[in-house]
Amino acid sequence: MKLLTKISILATSVALAACNGDDGQNGTDGKNGQSSFVLQTVVQPGHAVCANGGIQIDSGLDKDGNGKLDAGEITSTTHQCKPTKTSLSQSDLLTNANNNWYVQSAKSVEDAKQMALKANNERGGAKNVILFVGDGMGVSTVTAARIRDGQNKGMKGEENNLSFDKFPFAGLAKTYNVDAQTPDSAGTMTAMISGVKTDVGVLGVDEDIERGNCTTVSGNELVSAIELAEIAGLSTGVISTARITHATPAATYAKSADRNWEDISDMPDAAKTAGCKDIADQLVNFETNLEARYDGLDVDGLEVVMGGGRRHFLPKDAAANSPDARSDIEGDRTDGRNLVNEWKAKYPNGDYVFEDDGFRAINPETAERIFGLFNESHMQYEADRSNDVAGEPSLTDMTEKAIKLLDNNDKGYMLVVESGRIDHGHHAGNAYNALEDTIEFSEAIEKAVRMTNPEETLIIVTADHSHVFTIAGYPKRGNPILGKVVAIGKTEPEKAADDKPYTTLGYTNGRGFMDLGAETDADAGYDQDIHAGRADLTDVDTTTPGFHQEAAVPRSSETHAGEDVGIYAKGPSAQLVSGTNEQSIIFHVMEHAIDLINKAETKLKP
């Protein structure tokens, strides 16, 4: 707003008559006077002179007579500023304070302050530790699963929280292996469970190993947290929805020059001749192997082992098939050994189960131990679990039963739980299955939280690595996370520069677009041709279980990614999780919480 005041000065001439004299000559005409202007301009808050706003007053003469005050004609500038406040009143923050986002965030700060005051940093302050590993669960997977879970509940989705989102302490883990920028699960899980980063593809050994060379294992073995817990007299357990001999669970109990040596048929002759043992063999003989390493040690072995991978424990003989075998010959072992029977002989009071009915029949309050192998290979995706031949327990079911059994030990327990098929869903380029398994993972964690005492149980949730999985475009709030991008204020999908719609979720590389409809097994996509690049999705329902997202770079399988992953923690020593860390810190937080090394050393002393 401008206020303009104009003052005109008129020149006058005055003629003076001489007394008794002749009239004088007429004087010359006077010059017209110059106009004076005063210009008032409202200035907004944040102005250099008037921080709270006000009026700037400029004045000067209209020298060029153009009827306005130009910048060069201003001779004086003053300001009338609004007074500066010296304090905040309640009314000043009324808009903030009445906003739900403001209220929620303020409460979160207060809750965090209380958690910090109650935090237990005492060494050995925890009785139990549970490590949850979401295989391949990068930050984008957590975000997408959170939204998917919320939308499944009838929410817009973004405001939802997965169970571990609410944990009071969090940080990041750098996932690279010693020899690789983008890691694999063997090296990353070895770091988490032993405190030492190592190379790609090796289990329970340090970086001085030569992958695939059995003779380099000796002298380079690492001690895992599970082994320390076992020595200390705690109960121990390992659960996975992948094969129990797969990289992540195997790192808890095995020492191997190659993660692929899951059974003897996978090993080269040189390794067998040199005396290396396959991973399944090491699992069944975990107790014997551990006792052999330490003089006079007497342990009772793993109380809970559940997952997939039966084929690595059974001989290549149809007579050894399980009732729900999918293959004509289920077993892969070429040494004729039946490791299931060997386990039963070693633990006659233990319960071996291969299907859901047998699992549910076990009373964890009285059972000594459980060995569950629920599939020939990996267990089913959560969305596909109902299609299993004999039925499988869910990850939540296994977690609940494991805690009930392990909690029978007054000294405490250590449990590792892996959701292995999040990773496999991504490798197949199928976000639906990856997200559904992440949601089930969250449910298992919630079950563990409800079953345990936060004052005596440290729970850590993390991932071994991430995937090249993206959340992109500019979809409006509440847009179906599996859907095509629909912009704010729009009802129809946005189109890219090629005039085709595109989805919010996608992959940098992989097998690419597939429309398999209601198919709930992501691995069915491996029977299809690779179709990387763009496809016309106009008439495709991208929210179905069988839709596989587009990928830019064609590959037989989508790859891991190299960015940091989240670490979430609650319970004793949880506050030690903060900032950005080497992935190996997870071992040290767990060790501090239970005082594992001191307890194990005490047990080993004569």
Binding-site residue set: 135, 246, 248, 418, 423, 427, 464-465, 560
Beta bridge partners of 6: 37
Report DSSP state, residue 385. G
Reading the block at residue 498, the tokens are 């090629």
H-only helix segments in 307-394? 339-346, 356-361
Give phi and psi for 56, each to the nearest 5: -100, 130
Taking residue 221's Cβ as centre, other Cβ atoms within 10 Å add up to: 15
Please report, in range form, the residues annotated as the binding site for Zn(2+): 135, 423, 427, 464-465, 560
**Residues whose CB falls within 8 Å of the CB of residue 414, separated by 6 or more in sequence, listed in order:** 128, 129, 130, 131, 225, 226, 229, 234, 235, 236, 237, 590, 594
* Signed CA dihedral, 257, 258, 262, 266: sign only: negative
The three-class DSSP label of residue 532 is: coil
Strands 54-61 and 580-582, by their bridges, are: unpaired
* Signed CA dihedral, 137, 142, 144, 146: sign only: positive
User: What percent of the residues of the chain are helix, what percent strand, and what percent coil, each to the nearest 5?
Assistant: 30, 20, 50
Give the separation between CA 288 and CA 298, rounded to whole angstroms: 9
Distance of CA 495 to the CA centre of its chain: 30
CA atoms within 13 Å, Cβ hemisphere of 487: 6
The three-class DSSP label of residue 326 is: coil
Nearest to 350 by CA among 329, 364, 335, 332: 364
Give phi and psi for 466, each to the nearest 5: -115, -170
Find tokens 């002179």 and name the residue. Answer: 49
SS (H, E, C) 554-578: ECCCCCEECCCEEEEEECCCHHHCC
Give the separation between CA 398 and CA 407, rounded to whole angstroms: 14
Please report, in range form, the residues annotated as the binding site for Mg(2+): 135, 246, 248, 418
Beta bridge partners of 570: 459
Element (H, E) at 292: helix 286-293
Q: Which residues are marked as active site?
A: 185
Nearest to 456 by CA among 418, 417, 407, 402: 407
Q: How many residues does the chain have?
A: 606
DSSP 121-162: --TT--SEEEEEEETT--HHHHHHHHHHHHHHTTS-STT---
Fill in the amino acid letter for 128: N
Strands 560-561 and 565-570, by their bridges, are: unpaired
